[in-house]
């Protein structure tokens, strides 16, 4: 929903201007987002510093899996609180759509921009302006760093689905920031 | 712009949940990585410091507060503007020292500890120590060296959470500060 349509109960009517900062400052909801963003940055930095002595692939891999694991547990917790009162989903597609809409709005203040599926268990969720990348760059600069900042969210998605009874593997791919794609592959047992 | 609208509790809770749960996962990870609570407390303080030095810019860009003239003003801005903006709570400022260089922030509720219980073997853990680092880092960027610590903590059985802040000195502008 465009910023200018935000309810006037939340921001003074004089503030329905296009300057993002002002609207952001007027609503507490936005503030939490930045707090989470800063915490997320520190968390990634910590895990990398703690888990990788040198720059070898194995240690980098373990840092990524630590972050993914953290995200997984948080995703489980979030979806549980969030779907307490909602009826269960009729199928996987329904659950993924819920993630794309309700969960994404809750976490990142916007929906997933594009969802594609092959109707055989693979879903691609595209976010054109992923909030955790938008401070980075508008292009390919720093792209090697991007995966570190996506893996926690991949974990959250996997954790959320897991608590809805869906096992999956979630990966992310970036070609031009701040857009990115999350790929969810449902695992059939 | 300075009017902080009252959010419906639902919107408010949801977003602090992402932060709160992430913070919880992080503290758990730190406890796994470090043998003792003291180390974890130190790490939390360091991370908070790194966050604080960035957060202050975000804060100054989004609030319309000007330079504070004294420590009392600083205390008010921290409690009434900063805490409200970032955590949606307004701690009260009390227990001023006679010299006016020390005060307490009393938090009736601490959003960081929603859903949290400390297990028995972590008596030395200052769960919310991140906050101390954030305050310290943020104030250092506006030329104030402060000492921040928890005097009371609801997680450890106290009735309220009390953060004690002490002004140490003004920092000269030309000392470079980096991440810890």
User: For residue B125, what pLDDT band results from cuts at 50, 70 and 90?
Assistant: very high
Mean pLDDT check: name the lowest of A25-39, A146-160, B117-131.
A25-39
pTM value is 0.83
> Over 60: is that where the pLDDT of B145 sits?
yes
Identify residues of A whose CB sits under 8 angstroms from chain B CBs: 9-12, 15, 21-22, 24-29, 31-36, 38-43, 45-47, 50, 66, 70-71, 73-74, 77-78, 81-82, 106-107, 152
pLDDT number for residue A56: 63
Question: Considering CB atoms only, which of A10, A29, A45 is closest to B15?
Answer: A29
Residue A20: enclosing H or E segment and its boundaries? helix A20-26
Closest CA to B79 of B65, B98, B69: B65
Residue in chain A lying closest to B51 (CA):
A38
CA separation for the pair A117, A168 (Å, rounded): 14
The predicted pLDDT at position A21 comes to: 31
Q: What are the C-alpha distances in Å from A175 to residues A137, A169, B118, B172?
A: 12, 20, 42, 44
Segment B46-50 shows an average pLDDT of 97
Q: Which residues of B touch A (CB under 8 A)?
A: 1, 3-5, 7, 11-12, 14-19, 21-26, 29-30, 33, 43, 47, 50-51, 54-55, 58, 61-63, 84-88, 115, 130
At residue A103, the pLDDT reads 93
* pLDDT: which is higher, A145 or A99: A99
């Amino acid at each position: 929903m465009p910023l200018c349509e935000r309810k006037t109960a939340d921001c003074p009517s004089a503030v329905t201007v296009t300057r993002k900062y002002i609207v952001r400052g007027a609503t507490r909801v936005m503030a939490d987002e930045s707090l989470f963003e800063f915490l997320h940055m520190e968390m990634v930095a910590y895990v990398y510093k703690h888990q990788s002595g040198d720059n070898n692939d194995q240690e980098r891999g373990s840092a990524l899996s630590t972050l993914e694991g953290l995200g997984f547990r948080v995703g489980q917790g979030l979806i549980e609180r969030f779907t307490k009162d909602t009826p269960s989903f009729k199928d996987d597609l329904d659950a993924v759509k819920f993630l794309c809409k309700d969960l994404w709005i809750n976490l990142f203040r916007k929906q997933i921009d594009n969802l594609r599926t092959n109707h055989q268990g693979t879903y691609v969720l595209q976010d054109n302006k992923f909030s955790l990348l938008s401070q980075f760059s508008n292009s390919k600069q720093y792209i090697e760093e991007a995966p570190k900042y996506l893996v926690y969210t991949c974990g959250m998605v996997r954790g959320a689905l897991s608590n809805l009874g869906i096992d999956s593997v979630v990966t992310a791919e970036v070609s031009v920031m701040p857009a990115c794609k999350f790929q969810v592959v449902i695992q059939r047992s | 712009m300075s009017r902080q609208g009252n959010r419906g509790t639902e919107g408010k809770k949801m977003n602090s949940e992402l932060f709160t749960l992430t913070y919880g996962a992080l503290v758990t990870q730190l406890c796994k990585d470090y043998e003792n609570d003291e180390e974890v407390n130190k790490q939390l303080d360091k991370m908070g410091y790194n966050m604080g030095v960035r957060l202050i810019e975000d804060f100054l860009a989004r609030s319309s507060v000007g330079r504070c003239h004294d420590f009392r003003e600083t205390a008010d801005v921290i409690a009434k503007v900063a805490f409200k903006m970032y955590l949606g709570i307004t701690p009260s400022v009390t227990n001023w020292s006679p010299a006016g260089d020390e005060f307490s922030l009393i938090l009736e509720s601490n959003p960081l500890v929603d859903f949290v219980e400390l297990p028995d073997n972590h008596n030395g853990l200052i769960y919310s120590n991140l906050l101390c680092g954030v305050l310290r880092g943020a104030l250092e960027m506006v030329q104030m060296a402060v000492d921040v610590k928890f005097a009371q903590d609801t997680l450890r059985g106290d009735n309220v959470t009390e953060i004690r802040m002490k002004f140490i000195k003004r920092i000269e502008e030309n000392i470079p500060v980096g991440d810890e």
